Amino acid sequence: MRILDEQARPPAVRVYAWYALGVLFLVYVVNFIDRQLLSILAQDIKHALAISDSQLGFLYGTAFAVFYALFGIPLGRLADGWYRIRLIALGLATWSLMTALSGLAGTFAQLAIARVGVGVGEASASPAAYSLLGDYFPRERRALALGIYSAGLFVGYGLALPLGGWVSHAWAAHFAHGSAPWGLSGWQAAFLMVGAPGLLLAVWVATLREPARGLSEGHPAPVARPGAWRAFAVEVAAILPPLGLWSAARAGALRRNLLCLGGTVVLAALLARCTGDRLQWSTLAIGVYAVASWVQKLRATDPATHALIWGTPALLYAMGAFCCLTFVTYSIGFWFPPYAMRTFAVHADVAGLLLGVPAAVATTLAVIAGGRISDAWRRRSPRGRIYLCLVSALLPIPIVYGALTAADVRTFYLLAALEAFTANLYFASMAACVQDCLLPRMRGTGAATSFIATSFALAVGPYLVGRISVATGSLRWGILAVFATTPIALLLL
């Protein structure tokens, strides 16, 4: 790897910056393909591994999201002190390998471990990519670059469902008589074929040039700082039990940390006893305790930021509401494809194409339109962004009800795309509301806090839909139950 020469001519740097942006865009596309692939394969996995809907929700949500959120904190700090290109390449290779290994899973436990690996690997991508783009592009072009990069999320979502569905269905149809290589089923082949290209992309990423930090501002600084990995280890120790106790003792917060640990363990034990799902609640307890340890460390090391984020009621209300809204969007986004396949007896390739592509287009339009409406409404009223979130919380309810009671699959596809649009109108307002409440030097930490909140929505939402589906014998009721959080969101907003 080479450090970009600060003396390079601006035109050459600009051309290379667009090239690097294109590669990073592909990384984000692969990131979300590997994350969302499980949705279209869920029905086949359910039958092959003899697992329940609640276990499917755990695989998609909890196993991925808890570790994605936790490792996002120390990996984000590592991106500030080490080679970002190397970090993205290593992360991409990790989550691609774990996606491919998902195709070799023969049990629920093996697939759960692979999903944890996908979450840890994917946590490295965006923090490092945002930092890179901030140095590749001058301030005047930075928002455009970040917007193009972020669009990879929606492209990845649009490709994951049709790609996974097509590979799975085509493989199963071609080897219908049990002659598949190594006895692989369609869903296993889909994981292997989707994961493998990411390893090649990781090699491509590793060839990118690392820009000097501060290059676009004209104040270049060294790319890597001594002791970056040691600092990373300290950050990990601060959030993972039982190492969090040692970190809390150093910060003078051991008693508070022990109380938090005890309360989390007791609550998880009660929930596990009531539901019988020890794995779900113990995994979530690890995440809750780790976040609490991180907050205590933040209080000791940066009391001003802690006071503004955790001591501002408006900001806490907003983050709680956004968590509820994300709870709905993640849950419906995962469970709509399995619902369509069960209810209308459509194959994975058809459901993937007719749900994935329209939803990707609708979500992209929603984020763009929501951003413009949010800014315009904010100019008219200080509460403008909140008003748009209220609209986005209410509009999907009749649309989802209509989709789940539709008599034909075409109506379901149409309403699913409309739901994707209305339910994601809040997305830009969410980020803007958090940023509006914080000082510039605190925005990164505030974004991380919001990111953690929405990750826990992913950890709980899809699981609870599956749990209710098991309890009632109806996936329809499980999906509709997500709107129980809407009154909470409205109250907080």
Same domain for 59 and 175: yes
Q: What is the pLDDT of residues 178-229, one digit of tens each?
A: 677 877 888 999 999 999 999 999 999 999 988 877 665 566 666 667 777 8
Same domain for 199 and 322: no
Q: Does residue 311 lie within any of the structural domains? A: yes
Q: Does residue 319 lie within any of the structural domains? A: yes
Same domain for 140 and 31: yes
Q: Does residue 268 lie within any of the structural domains? A: no
Same domain for 347 and 198: no
For residue 158, give the CATH number of its domain.
Answer: 1.20.1250.20
Same domain for 378 and 486: yes
Q: What is the pLDDT of residues 304-342, one digit of tens each?
A: 888 888 888 888 898 899 899 999 999 999 999 999 999
Same domain for 230 and 150: yes
Same domain for 306 and 226: no
Q: Does residue 1 lie within any of the structural domains? A: no
Mean pLDDT of 231-247: 76
* Exposure on the CB side of residue 23, measured as CA atoms within 13 A: 23
Q: Does residue 195 lie within any of the structural domains? A: yes
Structural domain total, the chain: 2
Same domain for 306 and 225: no
Least confident of 54-63, 185-194, 438-447: 438-447
Q: What is the mean pLDDT of the chain?
A: 85
Same domain for 146 and 25: yes
Same domain for 126 and 41: yes
Q: What is the pLDDT of residues 268-300, one digit of tens each?
A: 999 999 888 899 999 999 888 888 888 887 787
Q: Does residue 88 lie within any of the structural domains? A: yes
Mean pLDDT of 426-438: 75
Domain that holds residue 171: 9-208+221-236
Q: Does residue 350 lie within any of the structural domains? A: yes
**What pLDDT, on a 0 to 100 scale, did the predictor assign at position 415?**
96
Q: Does residue 412 lie within any of the structural domains? A: yes
Same domain for 186 and 65: yes
Same domain for 113 and 198: yes
